[in-house]
Amino acid sequence: MGAYVTPVAGVLPPQPGLYWSDVNLYYDAGARKSQEIPVAGNVVTGLHAAFSSFALSAIYVSNLHVGPVAFAAGITWPGQYLDARGSIGRLSRSDTSGGLRDMIITPVILGWHSGGHFLRGRIDIFAPTGPYNRGSLANIGMNYRTFTPTVSYSWTQPKIGLDISENVGIDVNTTNDKTKYRSGTLFHLDTAATKTIGTAGPGLGLAGSLLYQITDDTGALAIHLGGFQGRSFAVGPVGRYTFKVGGMAINSSLRWLPEFAVRKRPSGNAVYLSFTGRF
């Protein structure tokens, strides 16, 4: 929830070179005791999960341009510590897991801008490189691939310190070969609006996120659960600030996104702290 809610989401850096980002997340969520949730081949009730994670990314912006369109590519190494508990039948379970989770490969990023309008398109490929155990409540790997095309747009007005950014995309999942379960396609829409205080101060604003599953899950367990189409909404504050370390300009953002109107998913709070810069 809220993974794509960032200020200047549509901006591809205009200068060629190697850029980095560090996204840190803490998420704590739970489901009702009566809510059945499929986890690694089991039906779990009363699921509660909490995790902290980081995602280190390297993005290379090339010199290649086709007309006004610039090209880039990237790769992300994520890590996570996850604690989960719930009940399988009458038995209570608690599992933990930690380490590097599924790598994210971004083979192409396209960027365009005109004046204060910025547009960026990309596709992320989540590769099943993280550990996965059938039957565990705490898997940091997913054991299937996900293809995520997204389009981001930003309208920036530096003179008044205003940024309005939108991101729209879908997650297309493949089948987990250990459980024969396939999660349905997920649509996500994210927005953030921030206003800088003063000429070079912090920016404050509001962020919102929507996750909406548009196709059923498939597999024997999914049929038992009626397709298990989930959804979630979240709205919360976002802040941003630019500072320098040893001459390097670093953009930071902090956002809190509490969920509401959640259906067939655990419901909770997500807190993100992000940093980006150029090597």
Percentage of residues in the chain having pLDDT higher than 90: 86
CA–CA gap between residue 248 and residue 278 (Å, rounded): 7
219-253 per-position pLDDT tens digit: 999 999 999 999 999 999 999 998 888 888 899 99
What is this structure's pTM? 0.93
Higher pLDDT: 200 or 45? It is 45
57-100 per-position pLDDT tens digit: 999 999 988 989 999 999 999 999 999 999 999 899 999 999 99
Alpha-carbon dihedral angle through residues 8, 13, 14, 17, given to the nearest 10 degrees: 170
pLDDT band at 126 (very low <50, low <70, confident <90, very high): very high
Higher pLDDT: 49 or 200? It is 49
Residue among 12, 16, 25, 19 at smallest CA distance from 253: 25
188-212 per-position pLDDT tens digit: 999 999 999 876 779 999 999 999 9
Q: Does 164 have pLDDT greater than 90?
A: yes
Architecture of domain 17-278: Beta Barrel (2.40)
CA–CA gap between residue 138 and residue 132 (Å, rounded): 9
Residue among 63, 150, 73, 70 at smallest CA distance from 107: 73
CA–CA gap between residue 30 and residue 153 (Å, rounded): 33
Q: What share of the chain is helix, strand, coil (3-state, %, to 5)?
A: 0, 65, 30
As a whole number, mean pLDDT of residues 139-151 equals 97
Predicted confidence at residue 246, as pLDDT, reads 84
Which residues, other chains included, contact 279 with Cβ-Cβ below 8 Å and sequence gap of 6+?
17, 18, 19, 20
DSSP 13: P
Q: Does 167 have pLDDT greater than 90?
A: yes
Domain assignments of the chain as residue spans, ordered by start: 17-278
How far is residue 147 CA from its own chain's centroid?
Answer: 13
CA–CA gap between residue 222 and residue 47 (Å, rounded): 17
CA–CA gap between residue 3 and residue 167 (Å, rounded): 10
Average pLDDT, the chain: 94
CA–CA gap between residue 152 and residue 164 (Å, rounded): 11
Q: Does 217 have pLDDT greater than 80?
A: yes
Predicted confidence at residue 199, as pLDDT, reads 65
Which residues, other chains included, contact 217 with Cβ-Cβ below 8 Å and sequence gap of 6+?
38, 181, 182, 183, 184, 225, 227, 228, 229
